[in-house]
Amino acid sequence: MNFSPAECLVMGLLHSGARYGHEIDKYMEQMKIRYWTKTNRATIYQTLQRIERKGWVTSDTEVVGNMPRRKIYTLTPKGKKALQEMVFAGLASQEIVTFDYSIAIGWLEVLPTQLVIDQVIQRKSFVEKIIHQFSQEDVEDTDIYIGRRANVRFLKSYYEMEREWLDWLLRELRKLKKTV
């Protein structure tokens, strides 16, 4: 099955209890999903329209108090089946992980070594802030859904590994600076 990650994400969040676009966006914030995908609010609404056209969700409008009318989405049986197929295919993915950051690293020699060191230190500071965003509870609390824990654990492990790699890179750059 050919699908977009945004479709799988939005349908998964609907399956998890989100019902409308803004609520999907809030779930993404609460679950720290933006750390592992670049999906934004515009993509959410475009995806909702697309999956509705495909018959994977239905929508009704709802008015709560003085709030503006909003569209409430519900997965259809066809949508639940599509979500299962997406998850099934995605779990055996043979996609190569890419790192845009590696492009700049590949040509770091075009800058003076001290400037590279300064920039890498900034990256390391950013990485450390991300690591501290993930609590031990996010990783170990068995009451939290395993898919969320798995993603948080993966990301935390990745950023811890990146911090270690950045330390190595800084040591190598400092050695290089001494020989120049």
Largest CA distance in the chain: 70
Which CATH architecture group holds 5-91? Orthogonal Bundle (1.10)
Q: What is the pLDDT of residues 111-159, one digit of tens each?
A: 999 999 999 999 999 999 999 888 766 667 767 778 888 888 888 899 9
Inform me whether the pLDDT recorded for 96 exceeds 70: yes
Residue 59 bridge partners (DSSP): 73
Query: How far is residue 151's CA from residue 32's CA, in Å, rounded to a whole number?
Result: 9
Query: Considering the chain, what is the average pLDDT of its residues?
Result: 90
pTM: 0.79
Query: How far is residue 43's CA from residue 25's CA, in Å, rounded to a whole number?
Result: 10
Query: How far is residue 105's CA from residue 90's CA, in Å, rounded to a whole number?
Result: 29
Question: Residue 1 — very low, low, confident or very high, per pLDDT cuts 50/70/90?
Answer: low
Does an H or E element contain 74, and which? Answer: strand 70-75
Give the model's pLDDT for residue 107: 95
